[in-house]
Amino acid sequence: MAQLVPVHCARCAHDVTPVAVWPGFLWARRDWYGGLVLLAVLAPVIMSEITVLMPLAILFGLAAGPVHALAAQRATCSECGAELSSATARSH
């Protein structure tokens, strides 16, 4: 894991160590899009079986909100919890 460089926090008015977003959330968002493509390819199979596969496909679609919300998080100040600028948001 990359070492986090100190970032200036406007609220604390000094340099702080940022709390980085877990990179797995970005991977989860990418995997969700991959799953969406797979869902589109398998649509004829899913449409033919509406008792199990169709509700699972709907649940997968509903997961878009949480997955994208978690992936959109930005790095925060380790002292006050304020969001830091997007230029310093990622640790990788």
Q: Give the footprint of Zn ion on this chain (CB under 5 A).
A: 9, 11-12, 77, 79-80, 82
For the bound state, the minimum distance from the C-beta of residue 79 to Zn ion, rounded and expressed in Å, comes to 5
Q: Which single residue is written with the structure tokens 């600028």?
A: 85
Q: How far apart are CA 48 and CA 16, in angstroms?
A: 55
Nearer of residues 46 and 76 to Zn ion, judged by Cβ: 76
Q: Name the minimum Å distance from CB 10 to Zn ion.
A: 8
* Closer residue to Zn ion, CB minimum distance, 17 or 26: 17
DSSP code of 7?
Answer: E
Half-sphere exposure of residue 52: CA atoms within 13 angstroms, side-chain side: 1
Sheet strands (E) in the chain:
7-9, 14-16, 18-19, 76-77
* Residue number with CB closer to Zn ion (14 or 92): 14
- For Zn ion, the nearest residue by Cβ is 77
